[in-house]
Amino acid sequence: MTRENLMSQFRGLFPAAITPLTADGKVYEKGLRQYLEFNIQAGVHGFWLAGGTGESVLLDDEDNRRVAGIAADQNGGRIVNIMHVGAATTARACALAEHAADVGCESICAVPPFFYTPSDDQVVEHYKAVGAAAGLPLFLYNLPAATNVDLTPAVVQRLRDEVPQLQGLKHSSPNFGNARVFAEMGLDCFIGSATLMLPALTVGCCGLVDGPPAFAPELWLNVWQAYQAGDLRSAEAAQRRALDVYGLFTSDYLATMKYIVGLRIGLDLGGPKETRNTLTDEAKAELRSRVEALNLEAVTPA
| pLDDT per residue rounded down to tens, the chain (302 residues) | 444 454 468 999 999 999 999 999 999 999 999 999 999 999 999 999 999 999 999 999 999 999 999 999 999 999 999 999 999 999 999 999 999 999 999 999 999 999 889 999 999 999 999 999 999 999 999 999 999 999 999 999 999 999 999 999 999 999 999 999 999 999 999 999 999 999 999 999 999 999 999 999 999 999 999 999 999 999 999 999 999 888 888 778 999 999 999 999 999 999 998 866 678 899 999 999 999 998 887 765 55
Other CB atoms within 10 A of residue 249 CB: 17
| H/E run at residue 40 | helix 29-42
Dist CA 274 CA 32 (whole Å): 18
Catalytic residue among 35, 128, 170, 246: 170
pTM (predicted TM-score): 0.94
Distance of alpha carbon 18 from the chain centroid: 9
What CA dihedral angle connects 273, 277, 283 and 289, to 10 degrees? -50
32: left (phi > 0), else alpha (psi -120 to 50), else beta?
A: alpha
Question: Is 170 an annotated catalytic residue?
Answer: yes
Catalytic residue among 141, 227, 246, 259: 141
| H/E run at residue 110 | strand 107-110
Dist CA 193 CA 58 (whole Å): 22
Q: Do 53 and 257 contact (CB within 8 A), yes or no?
A: yes
